[in-house]
Structure 1
Amino acid sequence: MLRDTWAEINLNHIRGNLIQIRETLSNHVKLMAVVKADGYGHGDLESAQMAEQAGADVLAVAYLEEALRLRSYGITLPILILTPIHAEYVHLAIEHDLMLTVINASWFKEMRKYKPSSSAKKLLIHVKVDTGLGRIGIQSQKEWDELVPWLTAADIVVDGFYTHFATAGKADTTFLELQTNRFMEMMDWSKKSGLYIRHYHCAGSAAALRFPKLAMDMVRIGAAMYGFYPEKLVHSVKLEPVLSLHSKLMQIKKLNKGEYLGYDNSYQADEEQWIGTVPIGYADGWSQGMQNTEVLVNGQRAKVVGKICMDQLMVKLPGPCAEGTQVTLIGRQGEEEITFAELASHIGSVSQEISTSLTARVTRKYKDVEEAWTHWGKRTKQKPFKKAVM
């Protein structure tokens, strides 16, 4: 490690979180582990590996590139791509046994220009329906009826039919109930069409943990595998945080009353105080929105002061400290803890925005990696696919 800023990732916590969630599900319910966006910033390969060890049945990613990367490193679990791919790349999906999301009939018409007629493999697809999130998916029975003739082709298998909830993490369930009722109506369209559909799924992390009756044939677990879930609303599990973020004080200075620091004189000392500079900034994913949050130094909270710079930030220390003292931006020191939820509340967002924002400049250190490698090597007879430390 060439710099004093790193994220520490506990692989056992990923596996343990998924095992806990797996145990809450009925035996017939499959678990899809969502490892998109580089495993929500935790590492896609490592997350996929832990998901497999925890008994996940399927993986999901956002884009074709993510799926191909997993395949190139020996991941063999079924993979669903949640975002529709360009029809011209259908041969890659077939070649690498990838399942595709479809949202309209026009995609099939275009796809037929590119699907190899010589291929004996069938194309597995999941139909996405929009029940109220307003993102992607069919909304009307007319759109469904236009899809049906394409879905009945001999070389097409409808592996899934699914939607996504907009408010599953909120205490008020009114809109979730509206979406559920809408999904039931859409499921009725599909069943009346006579098509055989292998899996119906609607529950992401929060819905799966809060409402077991919504598990249907499969649940999609993304945020919760990394310890992000609405803790106050969920009592069936106690999930562990997976990622902590650390750095070190690179310089200490005394700021006199009335003196300024930061771009645009963004902070003025109201008393004599000690300031520490920490080598992490918005180019690492620690945005200027994190101004006025707190970090931990010697087990005490220290406020981030002044505008956050591209490569550094400054904190008001509880007193004089030694250069090189560890700073914890996410995680625990002694009795104090900075959580993703605390920081997400500060910026008006969600925990996963913070973890996925951490750039490649932040070294990932993996705990318990030897155990993961041992399991992987026994199963695949391959060498470890990615160097990790700790």
Structure 2
Amino acid sequence: MSLNTWAEVSLNHIRENLLKIRQSLPSSVKLMAVVKANGYGHGDLETVRMAEIAGADYLAVAHLEEALRLRANDITLPILILTPINPEDVQLALVYDLMLTVASAAWLKEMRKYKPLSPAKKLKLHIKMDTGLGRIGVKTKEEWEELVPLIREADIVIDGFYTHFATAGNADRAFLELQTKRFTEMMNWSYASCLSVNHYHCAGSAAALRFPSLAMDMVRIGAAMYGFYPQQLLPSLKLKPAFSLHSRLIHVKKLNKGEWLGYDNSYCAEADEWIGTVPIGYADGWSQRMQNTELLVGGKRAPVIGKICMDQLMVRLPGPCEIGTAVTLIGSQGSEEITFDELAAHIGGVAQEVSTSITERVARNYTNDTCKEEAGAKWGNRNVQSIYKKAVM
């Protein structure tokens, strides 16, 4: 990991964001902190510690391996895996007390090949309902009726019944209201089946913050924990971004008018210009979609020019600069700021797409961590592969 390019992650901001969100919820509502994708690029273990301090009741990850990594590092909070795992890995869920998402009867039927009926070994499930996102989930009454006998078995615990909204961050509420209506109907299917369900949940970050009436038994807070939320729709809420990205100039030169620069002669100087080279590129997650963005040098905006390379990019400087001058790609310098929202708009994506794209080549420096020593002593640096291999032997 290069010392010339690094991210700064404010753990205080993560903790403060979660505390503010927690305070906005009724005390009876549980908070599930979503730490998938290495904590949205911020660091999973570090984020989990802040979530624990802020009073998170549950954790959520995308994949089995992410859950095993947390368990390997002594994380004991309940963990939901949001993506259905391979049925043959069901014993890992039992051994490490993991909750699984179920989206079809077919998965449960296949799972029984690897988990014979055994009331002594309870499998905790969250049933995913498709109300309109169209990704995974039970969609029709017929699918539900096929599922019911399979989840009535004595060794099944239905810890959750949930859905996910497609447009909770949009100003237009029409589709959100349609999904809410569909989920209410599906909840009635559950009630009519006389099933015991511990938690009903439908609200991710945007829905939980905008529509407290949708909190139900639990909310899933991912993006907002890291400071990503629809600010234009929630002007009174002030969450703080936790992640900033920095580098340094490693080379400075003068480019004369008419000279070319970059792969495929992708830039031609229109006048005599000062050019800086910054050691970050698409192998670090700063993809070529970031061409024609800006970064900050000396508190001023400076355009990225030419094609972004695997390990470096070039920037047109406001004037001659010293090698080693600090550069900010996300964050503030003086009165100027490059935000996640600005970059997301440039690539036609969302803020978390930018943060999760930053690869492990970029070191994360954690600031304001009042529990750093305790966290280091607790987690260490154990390898998830060892616990995975041990569990399947």
Residues 113-262 of structure 1: pairs in structure 2 closer than 5 A = 113-115=113-115, 120-235=120-235, 237-262=237-262
Query: Which residue pairs with 2:371 in the alignment?
Result: 372
Deviation at 1:383, TM superposition (A): 4.0
Deviation at 1:59, TM superposition (A): 0.1
SS of structure 2 residue aligned to 1:198: strand
Query: Which residue pairs with 1:275 in the alignment?
Result: 275
Deviation at 1:105, TM superposition (A): 1.0
Deviation at 1:368, TM superposition (A): 2.5
2:35 is the counterpart of 1:35: yes
Can you list the C-alpha shifts for 1:68-94, whole angstroms capped at 9, x where unaligned? 000000000000000001111111001
Deviation at 1:2, TM superposition (A): 4.0
Is the contact between residue 163 and residue 183 of structure 2 (CA under 8 Å) also seen in structure 1? yes
Q: 1:128 to 1:247 in 2, by over 3 A?
A: same
Deviation at 1:119, TM superposition (A): 7.3
Q: 1:327 to 1:386 in 2, by over 3 A?
A: farther
Is the contact between residue 63 and residue 83 of structure 1 (CA under 8 Å) also seen in structure 2? yes
2:63 is the counterpart of 1:63: yes
2:52 is the counterpart of 1:52: yes
Task: Give the gaps of 5 or more residues in structure 2.
Answer: 383-393
CA distance, structure 2, for counterparts of residue 169 and residue 306 of structure 1: 34
Deviation at 1:311, TM superposition (A): 0.5
Deviation at 1:165, TM superposition (A): 0.6
Query: Which residue pairs with 1:352 in the alignment?
Result: 352
CA distance, structure 1, for counterparts of residue 282 and residue 347 of structure 2: 14
- Write the letter of the residue equivalent to 1:188: N
Deviation at 1:237, TM superposition (A): 2.5
Deviation at 1:258, TM superposition (A): 1.1
CA distance, structure 1, for counterparts of residue 217 and residue 236 of structure 2: 20
Deviation at 1:118, TM superposition (A): 6.0
CA distance, structure 2, for counterparts of residue 2 and residue 306 of structure 1: 23
SS of structure 2 residue aligned to 1:8: strand
Q: 1:361 to 1:374 in 2, by over 3 A?
A: closer
Can you list the C-alpha shifts for 1:33-65, whole angstroms capped at 9, x where unaligned? 000000011111111111111000000000000
CA distance, structure 1, for counterparts of residue 78 and residue 301 of structure 2: 45
CA distance, structure 2, for counterparts of residue 24 and residue 345 of structure 1: 29
Can you list the C-alpha shifts for 1:353-388, whole angstroms capped at 9, x where unaligned? 11101111111111123x2235548xxxx545259x
Aligned residues: 382
Can you list the C-alpha shifts for 1:263-313, whole angstroms capped at 9, x where unaligned? 111111111110000000000000001011000001000000011000000
SS of structure 2 residue aligned to 1:229: coil
Query: Which residue pairs with 2:385 in the alignment?
Result: none
Deviation at 1:257, TM superposition (A): 1.1
Task: Give the gaps of 5 or more residues in structure 1.
Answer: none
Is the contact between residue 255 and residue 269 of structure 1 (CA under 8 Å) also seen in structure 2? yes
CA distance, structure 1, for counterparts of residue 99 and residue 23 of structure 2: 26
- Write the letter of the residue equivalent to 1:37: A
- Write the letter of the residue equivalent to 1:14: I
CA distance, structure 1, for counterparts of residue 365 and residue 9 of structure 2: 6
RMSD over aligned Cα atoms: 1.4
- Write the letter of the residue equivalent to 1:63: H
- Write the letter of the residue equivalent to 2:126: H
Q: So what's the TM-score if we normalise by structure 1? A: 0.95
SS of structure 2 residue aligned to 1:177: helix
Is the contact between residue 59 and residue 79 of structure 1 (CA under 8 Å) also seen in structure 2? yes
Query: Which residue pairs with 2:380 in the alignment?
Result: 385
Can you list the C-alpha shifts for 1:7-34, whole angstroms capped at 9, x where unaligned? 1101111111000000000011000000
Is the contact between residue 291 and residue 306 of structure 2 (CA under 8 Å) also seen in structure 1? yes
- Write the letter of the residue equivalent to 1:38: N
Q: So what's the TM-score if we normalise by structure 2? A: 0.95
Can you list the C-alpha shifts for 1:81-140, whole angstroms capped at 9, x where unaligned? 000011111110011010000011121111111116567231110000111111000100
- Write the letter of the residue equivalent to 1:194: C
Is the contact between residue 91 and residue 116 of structure 1 (CA under 8 Å) also seen in structure 2? no
Is the contact between residue 227 and residue 240 of structure 2 (CA under 8 Å) also seen in structure 1? yes
CA distance, structure 1, for counterparts of residue 16 and residue 266 of structure 2: 43
Deviation at 1:204, TM superposition (A): 0.5
Taking every aligned residue pair, what percent have the same amino acid on both sides? Answer: 69
Is the contact between residue 373 and residue 384 of structure 1 (CA under 8 Å) also seen in structure 2? no
Is the contact between residue 103 and residue 127 of structure 1 (CA under 8 Å) also seen in structure 2? yes
CA distance, structure 2, for counterparts of residue 339 and residue 120 of structure 1: 51
SS of structure 2 residue aligned to 1:244: strand
